[in-house]
Amino acid sequence: MVLKIERVSDGNSITLLLSGRLRSEHVEQLKTQMEGSSQTIILDLDEVKLVDRDMVCFLGECEADGVRIKRCSRYIRDWIDRERQTLDGEKRD
């Protein structure tokens, strides 16, 4: 299964509806979809079935930069939170 991205705008925000597998090779594709917009970016992960560690780290960075993540499965949400805690701990050392 490949990644599918559907872009929806309501004038105030841009929602990227993602489905399939999110892997490190898709980071640049997502960055391209998000860059240059003054609107709020929302990543809808409802149809995402699988992620890798690089993508989880990227999602955590996106959130730190103000991107909203919605309809994210519990295992992905927990993984993002763990990775962010690990990075925060490393920055303090």
Q: Residue 85: which CATH number?
A: 3.30.750.24
Tokens standing for residue 20: 């399939």
Residue-wise pLDDT tens digits, 33-81: 999 888 999 999 999 999 999 999 999 999 999 999 999 999 999 999 9
Count Cβ atoms below 10 Å from residue 84 Cβ, excluding itself. Answer: 17
Domain hosting residue 83, numbered range? 4-92
Check: pTM over 0.85? Answer yes or no. yes
Alpha-carbon span 45 to 72, nearest angstrom: 5
Look at the chain and report how many structural domains it folds into. Answer: 1
23-46 b/e (C-beta count within 10 Å ≥ 16 → b): eeebbeebeebbeeeeeebbbbbe
Of 86 and 81, more confident: 81
